[in-house]
Structure 1
Amino acid sequence: MEAKAHIAIVSIPVFTHQVSILEFAKQLIHLYKNTFHVTCIIPTISDSPSIASKHFFGTLPSNIQCIFLPPTDFEDLRNDLTLESQIQISVSRSMPLVCETLKSISTSSNVVAIIVDTFAYEAHQFAKDLNILSYRYFPCSAMVLSMCLYSSKLDESITCEYKDHPNPIEIPGCISVQGTDLPDSFQNKSSLAYKLFLHRSQQLCEADGIIINSFVEMESETLKAISQKYLCGTTPNVYPIGPIVQTRPNIQKNACECLLWLDNQPPNSVIYISFGSGGTLSHEQINELALGLELSNHKFLWVNVRAPSDKASANYLSNNEVDPLNYLPLGFIERTKGQGFVMCGWAPQVEVLKHNAIGAFLTHCGWNSILESIVHGVPMIAWPLFAEQRSNAALVTNGLKVAMRPKCNSKGIVVKEEVANIIKGVMEGLKSEEIGKRMKELQKFANCAMMENGSSMKTFSMLALKWKRLGRPIEVERWA
Structure 2
Amino acid sequence: MEAKTHIAIVTVPVYSHLRSILEFAKRLVHLHHDIHVTCINPTFGSACNNTKALFESLPSTINYTFLPPINLEDLPHDTHPAIQVQVTILCSLPLIYDALKTLHASTRLVAIISDGLISQVLPFGKELNTLSYTYFPSTAMLLSLCLYSSMLDKTISCEYKDLLEPMEIPGCIPIHGTDLPDPLQDRSGVEYKQFLEGNERFYLADGILVNNFFEMEEETIRALQQEEGRGIPSVYAIGPFVQKGSCNEGSDTECLRWLDKQQHSSVLYVSFGSGGTLSHDQINELALGLELSGQGFLWVLRPPNKFGIIANIGAEIEDPFKFLPNGFVKRTEGRGLVVPYWASQVEILGHRAIGGFLCHCGWNSTLEAVVRGIPIIAWPLFAEQKMNAVLLTNGLKVALRVKVNKKGIVEREEVAKVIQNLIVGEEGEEIRQRMKKLEGVATDALKDDGSSTITLTQLAHKWRGLSLGVA
SS in 2 for 1:44: coil
Structure 1 pair 260/55, CA: closer, same or farther in 2 (3 Å)?
A: farther
Structure 1 pair 163/85, CA: closer, same or farther in 2 (3 Å)?
A: farther
One of 420, 430, 446 as aligned partner of 2:416 = 420
One of 341, 347, 350 as aligned partner of 2:343 = 347
SS in 1 for 2:459: helix
Contact 1:163 1:180 in 2 (8 A): yes
Task: State the TM-score, normalizing by the size of structure 1.
Answer: 0.94
Aligned-pair CA distance for 1:252:
7.9
**2:219 and 2:128 mapped to 1: Cα distance?**
36
Aligned twin of 1:466: 462
Aligned length: 471
Structure 1 pair 250/91, CA: closer, same or farther in 2 (3 Å)?
A: closer
**1:11 and 1:214 mapped to 2: Cα distance?**
19
Are 2:85 and 1:59 aligned? no
Counterparts in 2 of 1:243-282, with a 5 A limit? 243-248=240-245, 255-282=252-279
One of 89, 92, 106 as aligned partner of 1:91 = 89
Contact 1:52 1:346 in 2 (8 A): no
One of 417, 427, 431 as aligned partner of 1:431 = 427
One of 164, 167, 170 as aligned partner of 2:165 = 167
Aligned twin of 2:30: 30
Structure 1 pair 268/151, CA: closer, same or farther in 2 (3 Å)?
A: same
Q: Which residues of structure 2 form unaligned runs of 5+? A: none
Counterparts in 2 of 1:90-109, with a 5 A limit? 90-109=88-107
Structure 1 pair 249/169, CA: closer, same or farther in 2 (3 Å)?
A: closer
Contact 2:370 2:439 in 1 (8 A): yes
Contact 2:214 2:452 in 1 (8 A): yes
**1:313 and 1:277 mapped to 2: Cα distance?**
9
Are 2:8 and 1:12 aligned? no
Deviating more after overlay: 269-278 vs 314-323: 314-323
Task: State the TM-score, normalizing by the size of structure 2.
Answer: 0.96
Contact 1:3 1:471 in 2 (8 A): no
One of 69, 90, 103 as aligned partner of 2:67 = 69
Residue 10 of structure 2 aligns to which amino acid in structure 1?
Answer: V
What's the Cα RMSD here? 2.0
SS in 1 for 2:455: helix
Residue 40 of structure 1 aligns to which amino acid in structure 2?
Answer: C
Contact 2:207 2:233 in 1 (8 A): yes
Q: Which residues of structure 1 form unaligned runs of 5+? A: none
Per-residue CA deviation, residues 125-156 of structure 1 (Å, 9 max, x unaligned), is: 22112111111000000000011011111111
Aligned-pair CA distance for 1:307:
1.1
**1:362 and 1:54 mapped to 2: Cα distance?**
28
Aligned twin of 2:328: 332
**2:241 and 2:250 mapped to 1: Cα distance?**
24
SS in 2 for 1:411: coil
Residue 378 of structure 1 aligns to which amino acid in structure 2?
Answer: I
Aligned-pair CA distance for 1:336:
1.2
Counterparts in 2 of 1:219-368, with a 5 A limit? 219-229=217-227, 233-248=230-245, 255-303=252-300, 305-315=301-311, 319=315, 321-368=317-364
**1:175 and 1:83 mapped to 2: Cα distance?**
31
**1:90 and 1:322 mapped to 2: Cα distance?**
27
Per-residue CA deviation, residues 385-429 of structure 1 (Å, 9 max, x unaligned), is: 000001001110111000001111110100111101010011012
Structure 1 pair 412/316, CA: closer, same or farther in 2 (3 Å)?
A: farther
**1:318 and 1:100 mapped to 2: Cα distance?**
30
**1:79 and 1:180 mapped to 2: Cα distance?**
31
SS in 2 for 1:461: helix
**1:318 and 1:301 mapped to 2: Cα distance?**
20
**1:162 and 1:380 mapped to 2: Cα distance?**
27
Residue 177 of structure 2 aligns to which amino acid in structure 1?
Answer: G
Are 2:373 and 1:377 aligned? yes
Deviating more after overlay: 159-168 vs 133-142: 159-168
